[in-house]
Structures are given as structure tokens and as C-alpha cells.
Structure 1
Amino acid sequence: MSARTLFVSALALAAVCGLSAPAVAQDAATIATAEQLRDQVLSDNVALDYVTQLTTRFGPRPAGSPSEQAAAAWSAEYLKGLGFKNVRIQSFPLVGWERGEESASILGDHPQRLVVAALGHSIPTPAGGIEAEVVRFATLEALIAAPAGSLTGKIAYVDAGQLVANQDGSGYGPLTRIRGAGPNEAAKKGALAFIMRSVGSDEHRMPHTGTTRYVDGKVPLPGFALSAPDADQLSRLLAMGEPVRLRLSSTARTYETTSQNVIADVPGRARPDEIVLLGSHLDSWDLGTGAIDDGAGGAITIAAAKAILDKGGAERTVRVVLFGAEEVAQPTNTGNGGGAYLRSLSPAELAGHVFTGESDFGADRIYSLGLPVGAQTSEFARIAGRVLFPIGVLPAGQPELNGGADIGPIVQAGVPVFGLNQDGIRYFDLHHTADDTLDKIDPVQMTQNVAAWTALVWLAADSDVDFRAMKPVTPPAP
């Protein structure tokens, strides 16, 4: 048994015997260092420096674009300058997408311009645009239930209502189904185009873009998101009972390109082949500058790993990956940067990944920690809770199961995942819009993020806790 095991049988035996749980010297030192690092990084500026430079130098970073590629090359040099080791760029092929020009307007005696954004990877309209009558559906299910051919020559419009702002962002997933599946369902009914209310919680006249889905290698229809006020306007007009005709235009295009992951290590002192992986994504949508989605996530994970680097490293390797192409769908099931990363690993390398987490929910404060099934009630959870409590982080009510889009592939391959859950109340006011800019980051809240990440990752990396071996505790029979 390693002397550096934080949470194993000596503690359990002490609890069973009714004794206080003494930690061996190394354990006490590891915990004390976590607390020291937690407090130290609250005055650190690495995260703010990185996200400021990234968003200012490169602006928006669409997947596969020259801007994303240049940002990746610069980020690699930035990480080298901080002292990270084994910094490399892992390229992979991608179908890129360029927005071009887009417009929408209500036709008739009182024409009105609407504010729209083409959905990512949407195909263009024919030259000259599309003019057709609109048919409104209150849900995706209502569109799916429409008779075949009932939308021939028309525009399908799904207005499922406004996204409700929740701390955990739980309302987002159900509405993104509309964005992904809507164009194909509309095409099945004969529609010429598809529009939807933006998936956002704001009332600003700024549409939220986001990718739609390929079906059999293609996106079947031009698709657009309406800003919330314009969706309200269109729905009110339709409720008045008169037919409404729209004109939609888009010059979007796809092209062959490459994206890339930027990978950097803080090598482990004792067990460098065991890896704690920290993920975020480097690409962004093209409307804003990708500050909260997800420049902030890269900034937070880099700053946390840099604090551990400055401490001389932990027993395990801490790896930062800035994943490419998180935001976009692809014609084939090749996945995003997370898929490319997984495919690059040998079975032994995959087995060496002992823990992973992703920062991709803005820059506001961490409020809870979710751990893998079996770890929620472990000694690791108890100590992590004690270390994180002073900065307002509480145990999550449910275990973390999935991570995010970037680390999802390796989590599905068996790597245990943690979730440092961020306050998402205002996240969907901003994300995927022109309002996703640097000024929306609260530096105080972002440094609290860095403190939580640093402390937790140190506890995991400076130990030999086997998260894969942890199993749910079976309560004793009554």
C-alpha cells in the first residue's frame, strides 16, 4: 500500500473503531498543499491573461478556420512559455463551415426585417433566397406528427418557448433536439426551409446559433434561429390568423480543412504514466469572440495546471487539452477533437487515464462537486469537500456520469469523470451569440473557478486513489 494513498483502509479502520481518522504525514502534506494552492490562486492572473489574449488576438475561432488554427499555434507557444512539457498539436481532418451572408424578412403590405442566424453546417438557400408561407409548431413532436407532404413548398417554424435559466443548465438539452433534428423532420414533410426560436434564456435581439445535424451525410434543409423578440413577433402575427410569408437567404458553405487539439503536460513526479486530464475547447462560434464558450474553460484549466506546475508537479501527470471542433457536427461519425484524442491512444495509454473533467460552462462560480459513482461517499469525497467548502463548493446531490462533449469519448471508454459544476444562470443569455465577449467574464468568479480546479486536481493527482475501482456502497440490510 502506498504511503501517499489519501483515502484507504487506515482511515476506514479508524472510523470502524470509533477513532479519529489520522492521516499519515504525506496525506496531511497533500491536503495542506491543496488548501495552500486553493488560496494562492485566488490572486493569480494566469486565467485572465490567457483568455484576454486569446479573444483579443484571434476573436471568433470557428472550427477548422484559419483563426482557430492560428489560435492553436499561439496557445501551444503560450503553454511552452509557462513551462508546460510535451506540448504538441494533434491535427485531424474536418469539414469546416462558413456562415456567409444571411437575412430574413416578413413579406406583404407591411414588410419587416427579422434577425436570424443560420444554424451551423446549414446548407445555403438557392440564389435569390426562399419565399414561402410559414407553418408554426409548438413542439418538435408536433412537427414530427405532421402528415407527410403537409409542408410542401412551405417553411417549418418550431417555437417551443423560451429556455428557462437554471443554475445547472438542465433546460438546454431538450431544446437542442429541435436544432439538431428539426431540419430533417421538416424535410420529411416537404418543407423548403426550417426556422426555430433561438435556444437561449435572454430577450435580446441577438440570435443564438449552434450546429444542426447531418443525416446520411448531409444537412437536408437551410436552417435558421430567430432571436427571441423576433420569434415573439412572428408567433403573434401567426396567431392573428393571417398567412405569413417569409423570405430567407443564406450563402453558407462547407469546405475541407483541419482542426486540432493542443496538448500539454505537467509530468508526474512518481507515476508519469497515470494522467489526470483537464479538458476545454478552443473553437468557438463566429458571432462573438468565444470568451465564455469556451475561452474561459481553457483559461481555468491552464491556470490550475500552472499552479501545480509551479509547485513542482504532483505524483501523477496533469494534462491540459484544448480540444478542437467541439461546436460542429460532421458528415461522418468521426467525432470532434475528443474523438480524435481517444483514437490516438493505445489501450495502455487509455488505461493510464485515471481521472478527467471538463470546463465548458462559462466563467461563473463553481457551486458543487460531482464525483463518479462510488466516489460520492468515499473518503476522497470527504476530504475534497473539506478543502472546497471555504470557497463555497458543496457536494453535488448526484454523481457525475458524462463530463462534456470533449471528454465524453474517453468517459464512455471507461475513464472516471468529475464535475466541478458552474453557476449557469446567465450562461444561456450569452452563449452562441454576438454577446459572448470578454467583458462578460467576472474575474473574481473566474478565479474562484481556478481555485476549485487547482485544489481538486491536486488532491487527485498527488495520490494513488484508484477511481476505477470505486464501487457504489451497498447499504447494510435492515
Structure 2
Amino acid sequence: MKHLFLIFLMNLLHQYAGKSLRRDGSSLKSFEDIKNEIAGYTDIAKAIIDLAVHGKAQNRSYERLAVFADTIGPRLSGSKNLEAAIKYMFSALQKDGLENVHLEPVKVPHWERGEEFAVMLEPRNHSIAILGLGNSIATPPEGIIAEVIVVASFDELRARAQEAKGKIVVYNEPFISYGETVQYRLQGAVEAAKVGAVASLIRSIASFSIHSPHTGGQSYQPDVPQIPTACITVEDAEMMSRMSLRGTKIVVHLRMGAKTYPDSLSFNTVAEIVGSKYPEQVVLVSGHLDSWDVGQGAMDDGGGSFISWEALSLIKDLGLRPKRTLRLVLWTGEEQGGVGAKQYYQLHKENISNFDIVMESDEGTFQPSGLGFSGSAEARDIVKEIMTLLQPINVTDVYDPADGTDIAYWMRDGVPGASLYNDISKYFWFHHSQGDTMTVQDPNQMNLCAAVWTVVSYVIADMEDMLPRV
């Protein structure tokens, strides 16, 4: 019997050579099978690229974004502009002939900066360009007049804690990377309040400046007094640092009229191309529709939102219908910490096994070089193979990991995630500033980004099997 069993086992192994076995005994595709399946999309990928980069859809995502940005402007959470933007997109997606266009309600924070200014009174009169940070409290109506203490780090602030009491803390922290340096914007007010400061002014989190303040979110702590906080330009932070190092007394008059209102009703905006074979399974492409209240929000994140819309438009224009549902989500309240995405996740997580991949573009739509990816090693190998289809435009690299506030909830639960990887060397020149306008955008680069986004999302949505998970 032992020999008969060995013969049977050898025949079985020969039958499934190069394949894996599922627990139910059915065969899994070998990677060679998967490569051949992906290679079968070469002509479709070329058609998508040709339409997006050279054909009738050339520059469409840019032109759509320009009309939107010029018409609506910046779109802060809770604002009339964001409300108008959502109505605009709801109508535009319907006119584009997409399916299941709908709005999903979300409660979002509502903060307004009001009038604000800062003036150096000593050692000379000088107007300081500022932008209040999100959720900051106001100063008293007459403002705050106080001496300044300039520090380069939290460690220096703590070491000089006795000097900081009753003063305005100015942070002149060097820009290392956004991820590392942004802690000063997020926590600067709290750390200054802990040592008795009356306000904090943070050097803008920017890699380059032409006297441009950059706003963004910040967080108070329940057990720490709240003080007004704003960002200032790199130039003014460095000037006050030089003055301070020379022993010069600096006095600033700061006035901010910020107000926080009760949460407002907003919406995540959703549209689909319904899958032909597995409509309950979802490939999600996304960007966030809200922005800060400066510039036009064209780069952050108009570009990501509009190439995500373009992905569905290109697929529809080519008469394609993938096996899975391709779902566009334009998030709301991202700048306040992914508020809309969190509520979307809570609403849909019961169907998490049906989410094939979640994709978000939120780091610019400049010259693309590849895809950021988070997922299992097996899924990564498949995505790498899919990226070979983009060889005609030389965008084939896969980086680790994917990044995106709005898709983080899904990725933490094991859903594969992807983000657009592009040249961000100038991204933080304009980020959260008055410089974030259509002038930053390049139509040719947006065409390439749209082609990448469309090829990847379509092929994953149309392959016979979902991406394997960890």
C-alpha cells in the first residue's frame, strides 16, 4: 500500500507541476500562468496609453481640473467652497456617464482662520507673513504683544524652558523631510504651551520658499493650555534666528481671529464602472476633494482626484468593462486627518474581503516613475509584472510602501494598497500655500499619471483572481 500511495502522490505532483494547491484541492495558477495572463493585456495597455497621452483624451484631466480649480478655488473642510465642489463633481460624474454616482454623508470639522496678521515691533517695524494653523484658537481681540524666543528644536525649547514663559516661541527648525519635520507644525503649540509660552510661530514645513507661509493641521492636547499658533515664512524664521543669536531683543504683535464651529455635513463622492463578472469585488481609485483655504488646491489634491476620475473615463471611452467594479472615491476632510476616509471605512469594512486593492494619489501628479505598493510578496510580484505594461512610457518601478492617509485604514487590515510615485522634488515648494495653483500643474505629466493609474487599476480589476493577501 505504501508503494501504491507513493505512485499516486508522484502522479499528483506531476499533474500539478508548477502549480499550488488550495485547501479545497483545486489548483492555483503558477506565476508563469499569471505572467502570461498579464501579457495578454499588452494591447489594452497600449490603447489606454495612446488615448491618454496622444489621443482624444490628451490633456483632458488637466483641462477638467483647470475649470474646476478656477471655478471653485480652495476647498476647506466645512466651507461653502467645498460644498460647491462636491455638487460640481456630482454633476460632472453623472454627465460623464459613470454608474452609481452618489454621495455618502460625512461629518467634518469646520474651522475658519478669520483675519490675521503679525508685525515685528522691535528691533524694527516689519510685517510678518503668516497663515494660522488648522484648529488654532484666536488671540484676544487686541492681539498679543510679546517678546520672542527662537529655538531650533523641541530639545532646545525644553532646555530653555525658563526663558519661554510669557513669550512667543518661534521655531526655526531645519527642513529634513516632511515626515520628520512636520512634527513641529503638529506639536509646536502644545510644546510651547507646556513651558508657559503665549503663542507659537512655526517655520513653514517647506523645502524652498519665496516668502511664502505654508499652513496645515495641528493638534492640541486635552491637558495642555491652548495657545494661538501660525506658520511663518522660512525667511522670517531665519531672520529672527539670526537676530536672536546676536542678542537682539525681538517683540512681535500677533492677532488672529480664528473660529471653530460645530461639525458640518459633507460627503464622500463616489462613482463606478460596475464589474461584469464579480461586481461585488472592488478596485478603488481615489484622491481627496478638500484642500486648505489657500491657493486653488490644484496640486493637493486636485491632480490626484482628477487622474482618478480620468481612469474611469478612459476605460469607459474604450468600451471596456472589467470583471470587478472599478470605484472612484473623492474623499472629504482628508486635511483634517482623513475624516471622510475613516467614516467610509467604518461603513464598508464589513465587506473588506471584497476589496481587491485600494489606490490613492495624494503626492502630486508630476513626472511619474512608478507605483508605491504595500501588500504581500506574492501580490508585489504580480504588480511588478503589471507595471511592465507601462514600458512604452518608461514608468515601471515598484516602490515600498504605498502611502495615503485615506487608504491607510484598509492597508492596516491587509488590503493591498498603491499610491502614485512621481517626482516630488518641488512638491513642498507649494504644499499648503498660496502657490498651490494650476500654474504648478503640467498637462503632459498629468497625461502620463492618468495612463499609469488607468492601466494598473484596469488590469487588477479585470484579472481572473484577486491579489493575494498576507
**Are residues 1:320 and 2:328 paired?**
yes
Q: 1:390–1:188: structure 2 CA closer, same or farther, 3 Å change rule? A: same
Cα distance between partner residues in 1 of 2:35 and 2:116: 65
When the two chains are superposed, the root-mean-square deviation of aligned CA atoms in Å is 2.2
2:41 paired residue among 23, 26, 30? 30
Q: Give the equivalent residue in structure 1 for 2:387.
A: 385
Q: Give the equivalent residue in structure 2 for 1:405.
A: 405
2:62 paired residue among 36, 48, 58? 48
Alignment of 1:341-360 (within 5 A): 341-347=344-350, 349-360=351-362
Is this contact kept in 2: 1:281–1:360, CA < 8 A?
Answer: yes
5+ residue gaps, structure 2: 1-15, 17-26
CA deviation profile, 1:343-399 (whole Å, cap 9, x unmatched): 11151x222111011111122021122333434785523422311222122323x43
Cα distance between partner residues in 2 of 1:305 and 1:180: 36
1:247 paired residue among 239, 253, 271? 253
Q: Give the equivalent residue in structure 2 for 1:461.
A: 461
SS at match of 2:147: strand
Alignment of 1:252-267 (within 5 A): 252-256=258-262, 257-267=264-274
Q: 1:431–1:379: structure 2 CA closer, same or farther, 3 Å change rule? A: closer
How far is 1:304 from its partner? 1.1
Q: Give the equivalent residue in structure 2 for 1:287.
A: 294
2:173 paired residue among 139, 145, 160? 160
2:197 paired residue among 173, 186, 191? 191
Amino acid in the other structure paired with 2:424 = G
Cα distance between partner residues in 2 of 1:240 and 1:359: 45
Q: Give the equivalent residue in structure 2 for 1:143.
A: 157
Q: Give the equivalent residue in structure 2 for 1:441.
A: 441
Cα distance between partner residues in 2 of 1:278 and 1:351: 17
How far is 1:30 from its partner? 2.9
SS at match of 1:418: strand
1:125 paired residue among 132, 136, 139? 139
Highest CA radius of gyration, 1 or 2?
2
CA deviation profile, 1:405-435 (whole Å, cap 9, x unmatched): 1112222233210232111011111111111
Is this contact kept in 1: 2:270–2:327, CA < 8 A?
Answer: yes
Q: Give the equivalent residue in structure 2 for 1:337.
A: 340
Is this contact kept in 1: 2:368–2:395, CA < 8 A?
Answer: yes
State the TM-score, normalized to the length of structure 2. 0.88
Q: 1:458–1:234: structure 2 CA closer, same or farther, 3 Å change rule? A: same
Is this contact kept in 2: 1:11–1:23, CA < 8 A?
Answer: no
Amino acid in the other structure paired with 1:324 = T
Q: 1:309–1:252: structure 2 CA closer, same or farther, 3 Å change rule? A: same
Q: Give the equivalent residue in structure 1 for 2:76.
A: 62
Q: 1:82–1:145: structure 2 CA closer, same or farther, 3 Å change rule? A: farther
Cα distance between partner residues in 2 of 1:140 and 1:371: 33
How far is 1:206 from its partner? 1.2
Cα distance between partner residues in 1 of 2:401 and 2:179: 16
Q: Give the equivalent residue in structure 2 for 1:364.
A: 366
Cα distance between partner residues in 1 of 2:96 and 2:225: 42
Q: Give the equivalent residue in structure 1 for 2:21.
A: none
Cα distance between partner residues in 2 of 1:467 and 1:342: 20
Count of aligned residue pairs for this structure pair: 440
How far is 1:175 from its partner? 1.1
Cα distance between partner residues in 2 of 1:382 and 1:196: 41
Q: 1:466–1:145: structure 2 CA closer, same or farther, 3 Å change rule? A: farther
How far is 1:447 from its partner? 0.5
Q: 1:92–1:381: structure 2 CA closer, same or farther, 3 Å change rule? A: closer
1:94 paired residue among 74, 99, 108? 108
How far is 1:219 from its partner? 7.8
5+ residue gaps, structure 1: 2-7, 15-20, 165-170, 330-334, 472-478
CA deviation profile, 1:285-330 (whole Å, cap 9, x unmatched): 111010001111111110012112233321111111110011125x
Is this contact kept in 2: 1:196–1:224, CA < 8 A?
Answer: yes
SS at match of 1:246: strand
State the TM-score, normalized to the length of structure 1. 0.87
Cα distance between partner residues in 1 of 2:225 and 2:435: 27
Q: Give the equivalent residue in structure 2 for 1:332.
A: none
CA deviation profile, 1:431-475 (whole Å, cap 9, x unmatched): 111111112111001101001111111111111333243x5xxxx
**Are residues 1:417 and 2:417 paired?**
yes
SS at match of 2:435: coil
Is this contact kept in 2: 1:375–1:467, CA < 8 A?
Answer: no
Amino acid in the other structure paired with 1:215 = Q
